Chains A and B, each alone.
Chain A
C-alpha cells in the first residue's frame, strides 16, 4: 500500500507542520513541496496535522482519496 501526498499550493500557507512530522516526505519552499515517500501512517498524520487542510492523500493503487 502506497499513499501519495498532494499539496494544494493555493491552500498551503507554509505552516511547516508536515515538514516537522515527515521531513523525508515534505520540505518547505514558498509552500510545502513533496520530496519523497514514507509509511502511509506518517503521510496521513502529516496531512491531518495541516491547519490549512492543504494536503490530500491518495491511495496509489486504487486512486482513491483517503484524506480529506
Chain B
C-alpha cells in the first residue's frame, strides 16, 4: 500500500457502484474517479426517455449530489481523460497533467457509440452521453423528420420519445426484422409492428448506401436507390468498448477480459461495466453484456474483490425498455434461443414469451406484464441449459 488508494477510470454506473461499495464496506483509503465527461457520474437510461422528452430535469439523472462525494471523500477528476496504463509501475497516464499512482485500479470507461464513416455531418446524432441528449433534444422539434439508423433499443426508444414530441420518424434497419439476432424474427417482428402502429415508418432489410448534403445531411440513400429526405439523423448501430486508451498496456483489443469478480489478468487492475468482456459461468465463456444491471453488479463485485471479498455468482442477465408507455422486460440469454412460445395477446401489447434452445428455456420476455417476470426468472434459473458447459469449465 502506498497511500495512492483506488483510482477508477470512467465515471459511469460501474465506477459509482464501486465507489459506494468501497465506502460502505469500510474502505478508508483514497478514492479517485477519473471522468472524461465534465458531468459528475449520472444514470444513462433516462437519456433516451424522460430527459429526451423533457419530462425529467437534467439534474435528476445524477447518482448523487456533489456534497455526497465530499462527505464520502471521493475525489472527482472531471473532464480528465486517461491516456494509458503502466501496470508494472502502478501508474495511470492522463492526456494532460501528471500521472496518477494507484494501489488498485478500476477500468470502467464503458462504451462509445459506433459511428458510420459517411455520416459525420452536423445534424447527425448519437446518444450515449448527457451532452448527446441535450443536443438531440434541441433538434427534436415538432414536424421535424428524423431518420434513425438501426432498430436496436436506443433507436427504438428514441423513436418512441420522438413520436411523443410530434416528430416524423423513419427507422432504417439492415436486418429483416428489428432485434432479430437477440429475439428472433417472430418477436422482432412484433417490435416492427409496434412502431408502425405508432406512426413510425419502419424500413427493414434496408441497407444504407450513403448520404447527400453539405454540412448537413438532407437525405439518406438506401442500397436499393431509394432516397429518404430528413432533417436530422440518429445513428444507433451499437457500441464499441472505450478501451483504445489501453493499447500497448497488455490488454487485448475489444474489451477487457475479467472473471466474475471483475479481476483482470494483471495484478491490482480490475474492470467492470461496458468496457469489459466478463466471464459468464452459465456459458463458460467471455462475452459483452452491456446491460445496466450487469454494470451495477460488476462495479460492486470489483470493489469487493479489491477488498478481498467474493461477491458470488452474477445474477441472470436482464434488461428493460420503456416505449410508448409500455414496459418491456427480458431475463436470460435470448440470443441463444431457436424458438419461442408466446402466451397472451401480442396485438393488445400484453404478452410473455419463453425463449427456448433445444427444448430448454433460456430467456423470458414480458411486454406490458411485469408480474410475469418473477416466474420467468425462476423458470430460466432452474432450467440451466449450460450445466454441462460449466462442468467442463471447472475441469
Contacts and interface: CB of A to CB of B under 8 A. Distances in A.
A51 to B, nearest CB: 4
B300 A30 contact: yes
A5 B251 CA distance: 45
Nearest to A48: B370
A8 B329 CA distance: 17
Interface string B264-305: 000000000000000000000000000011001100100000
Contacts of B377: 11, 53
Contacts, number: 38
Contact of B373 (A10, A29, A53): A53
Interface in A17-36: 29-30
A48 B318 CA distance: 17
Nearest to A20: B60
Interface on chain A toward B: helix, strand, loop, or mixed SS?
loop
A51 B327 CA distance: 8
Given A13-B315, A51-B329, A68 B370 contact: yes
B374 interface: yes
A14 B377 CA distance: 17
A29 B24 contact: yes
B21 interface: yes
B191 interface: no
Interface on chain B toward A: helix, strand, loop, or mixed SS?
helix
B320 A68 contact: no
A17 B114 CA distance: 30
Contacts of B373: 52-53, 68
Contact of A51 (B24, B297, B320, B372): B320
B395 interface: no
B371 A67 contact: yes
Contacts of A13: 292-293, 296-297, 315, 318
Nearest to B376: A53
B17 interface: yes
Contacts of B318: 13, 52
A52 B293 contact: yes
A11 B370 CA distance: 13
Interface in A24-68: 29-30, 48, 50-53, 67-68
Given A29-B24, A30-B300, A53-B371, 19 more contacts: A11-B315, A11-B374, A11-B377, A13-B293, A13-B296, A13-B315, A14-B17, A15-B292, A30-B21, A30-B24, A51-B329, A52-B293, A53-B373, A53-B374, A53-B377, A67-B371, A68-B370, A68-B371, A68-B372
8 contacts: A13-B315, A13-B318, A52-B318, A52-B373, A53-B373, A53-B377, A68-B373, A68-B374
Interface of A: 8, 10-11, 13-15, 29-30, 48, 50-53, 67-68
Interface of B: 17, 21, 24, 292-293, 296-297, 300, 315, 318, 320, 327, 329, 370-374, 377
